[in-house]
Amino acid sequence: MQATFRSVVLFVGDMAASRRFYEGLLGLQVDMDLGVNVGYTCGLALWQARAALEVIHHHAPDDDTPLGRGNLEVYFEVDDLDAAGRAVEAAGVPVVHPIVEQPWAQRVLRLYDPDGHIVELGEPMPAVVRRLAAEGLDAEGIRGRTFMPIEVIEHLLAGGEPR
Q: What is the pLDDT of residues 120-149, one digit of tens each?
A: 999 999 999 999 999 999 999 999 999 999
Q: How far apart are CA 35 and CA 26, in angstroms?
A: 20
Q: pLDDT for 102-121, tens place per residue? A: 999 999 999 999 999 999 99
What's the chain's average pLDDT?
93
- Closest CA relative to residue 46, chosen from 31, 66, 62, 25: 31
Task: List the beta strands (DSSP E) in 80-156.
Answer: 95-101, 107-112, 118-122
What's the confidence (pLDDT) of residue 69? 84
Average pLDDT of the residues in 75-91: 97
pLDDT value, residue 70: 79
* Confidence check: pLDDT of 81 > 90: yes
Residue 99: CB atoms within 10 A of its CB come to 17
DSSP string, 7-20: -EEEEES-HHHHHI
pTM to 2 decimal places: 0.87
On whether the CB atoms of residues 87 and 80 are closer than 8 A, the answer is no
61 pLDDT more than 80: no
Cα→Cα distances 29→50, 143, 163, Å: 24, 34, 23
Mean pLDDT for the stretch of residues 47-76: 84
